[in-house]
Structure 1
């Protein structure tokens, strides 16, 4: 039984090289900025999404002040775009 190319080390390397060629994260003004969220690990109340990490920190501090809860899960969502290679492969 043969090994699928994507699972063979050399095939995996080719896939990684192609991904590195195809994937380009846009950091210019046209791309969406990262979004930040937090959720309390005690009561699961969630913050509104914010594009400023300081707003997230403020929400956590305010929630902790109101509830004495101390643990939070924070998430950051970033965006990227995929461009095909010039030769279409």
Structure 2
């Protein structure tokens, strides 16, 4: 018979998840809420913002950089 212990009082930490995910980049126009496509490199969204500014004269953009974190139990050494 196996015995399993559950430690609900353990401290948890967030670790940057790099094994199965990459950061994602996106740009949003603050003036009209238009949004670039999401990309794994910042160049595409940045180019979109510049082209959008040229077409619309909208000048303010919000950069969205998404990365992923995993919650893991804190070890004694941390």
What is the TM-score of this pair, normalised by structure 2?
A: 0.70
- Among residues 52, 68, 72, which one is paired with 1:63 in the alignment? 52
- Among residues 25, 42, 45, which one is paired with 2:16 in the alignment? 25
Moved over 3 A (4+): none
Deviation at residue 66 of structure 1 after TM alignment: 1.2
2:27 equivalent in structure 1: 38
If each structure's helix is expressed as a fraction of its own residues, which one has the higher value?
Answer: 1
Root mean square deviation, CA, Å: 1.9
Name the count of aligned residue pairs: 66
Where in structure 2 are the equivalents of 1:45-60 lying within 5 Å? Answer: 45-60=34-49
Segments of 5+ residues of structure 1 without an aligned counterpart are 1-17
